[in-house]
């Protein structure tokens, strides 16, 4: 019975160690999920930046259209107002400079937009990988939860077996104590019968034989 109790205690200790290991793995899983959430937040920031770049590109195109319109207007005024030619030409040069600047900015914006689009594609791929990872982690977490439930059930069964074993040990101790008490009483009775005077020795012998015929537990 004692080796069985030791085996049960050893199994309980192993179950507790496995539970601690599962808790550590669950903490690592939570850290990975937090990192994935951070990656999703970064992807949202990149998408917001892409929208800003598109707005800047629209603004640059509007500036370019406005500049072209002003240039055409200045050419018409040059035909009618020669005195304003220098001013018109200067404004035209400035407008052209602004148009070139806007064009350069538009080129930069286009490049940034292409880079941003590629980043969005990469982030979407990463997000798909992250979602697969999250699903796999959730599946593992579910399996871990099932394992923990199984370990709890097994630990409960071990505790019940341990309680039953303790009850049996206690019952055996009580029975042993009763046997010892009965043995002491019988021993005292035999000693009392053997210690009587000689005239009653035959009666004591018969009593001893009668006691010896009894069934000892």
pLDDT tens, 91-137?
888 888 888 888 888 899 889 889 988 988 998 888 888 888 888 88
pLDDT at 2: 60
- Please list, residue by residue across 160-188, b when 16 or more beta carbons sit within 10 angstroms of its beta carbon and e when fewer do: eeeeeeeeeeeeeeeeeeeeeeeeeeeee
Under the banding of pLDDT at 50, 70 and 90, the label for residue 213 is very low
Q: What is the pTM of this model?
A: 0.30
Q: What is the mean pLDDT of residues 9-30?
A: 80
Lowest mean pLDDT among 5-9, 20-24, 63-67, 198-202: 198-202
pLDDT at 185: 87
Residue count of the chain, please give it. 217
What gap in Å lies between CA 113 and CA 120, rounded to an integer? Answer: 10
Taking a C-beta distance cutoff of 8 angstroms, is the pair 92, 71 a contact?
yes
How do residues 30-44 score in pLDDT, each as one tens digit?
888 888 888 888 888
Lowest mean pLDDT among 79-93, 174-188, 190-204: 190-204
The yes-or-no verdict on residue 84 having pLDDT over 80 is no
Structure token pair of residue 215? 């069934």
The yes-or-no verdict on residue 51 having pLDDT over 80 is yes
Domains of the chain, with CATH numbers? 2-152 (1.10.287)
């Amino acid at each position: 019975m004692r080796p069985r109790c030791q085996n049960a205690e050893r199994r309980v200790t192993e179950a507790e160690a496995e539970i601690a290991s599962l808790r550590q793995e669950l903490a690592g899983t939570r850290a990975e999920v937090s990192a994935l959430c951070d990656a999703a937040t970064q992807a949202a920031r990149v998408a917001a930046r892409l929208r800003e770049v598109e707005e800047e590109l629209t603004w640059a195109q509007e500036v370019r259209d406005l500049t072209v319109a002003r240039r055409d207007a200045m050419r018409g005024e040059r035909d009618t107002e020669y005195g304003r030619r220098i001013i018109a030409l200067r404004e035209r040069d400035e407008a052209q400079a602004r148009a070139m600047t806007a064009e350069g900015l538009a080129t930069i914006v286009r490049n940034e937009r292409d880079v941003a689009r590629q980043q969005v594609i990469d982030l979407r791929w990463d997000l798909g990988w992250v979602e697969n990872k999250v699903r796999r982690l959730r599946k593992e977490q579910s399996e871990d939860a099932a394992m923990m439930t199984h370990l709890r059930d097994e630990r409960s069964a071990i505790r019940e077996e341990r309680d039953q074993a303790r009850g049996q040990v206690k019952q055996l101790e009580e029975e042993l104590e009763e046997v010892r008490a009965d043995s002491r009483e019988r021993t005292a009775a035999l000693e009392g019968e053997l210690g009587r005077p000689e005239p009653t020795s035959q009666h004591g012998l018969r009593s001893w034989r009668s006691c010896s015929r009894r069934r000892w537990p």
